[in-house]
Amino acid sequence: MVVKLERPDLAKLREELIDQQRGFMITLATLEKNLLTQLSEAEGDILENVPLIENLEESKRISDDIGIKVIAAKETEVNIMETSEN
């Protein structure tokens, strides 16, 4: 890849973004698995299951945070591609 030869700093940043995205996918899959496990094991009214509700709120917060970071990563990726084309 031309970027790797001409701009190793951009190539490194791009690789870091790819690793970061992979980490996000793993985190989201783990959150989903944990929530589904808690839901399947819940007894009684799930609306009264405080640990489940807290986990749901924390999962939502983490998911929203990852969403923001994904948008920033996509913008950075576009900037890398534009820089590499010039």
Name which of 67, 73, 66, 65 is nearest 17 in CA terms: 73
Q: Where are the domains of the chain?
A: 2-85
Name which of 5, 24, 20, 13 is nearest 77 in CA terms: 13
Reported as a single tens digit per residue, the pLDDT across 7-57 is 788 888 889 999 999 999 999 999 999 999 999 999 889 889 999 999 999
φ and ψ at residue 45, rounded to 5 degrees: -75, 115
d(CA 71, CA 69): 5
pTM score: 0.78
Would you say the C-alpha torsion 32, 35, 38, 39 has a positive or negative sign? negative
CB 10 within 8 A of CB 84: yes
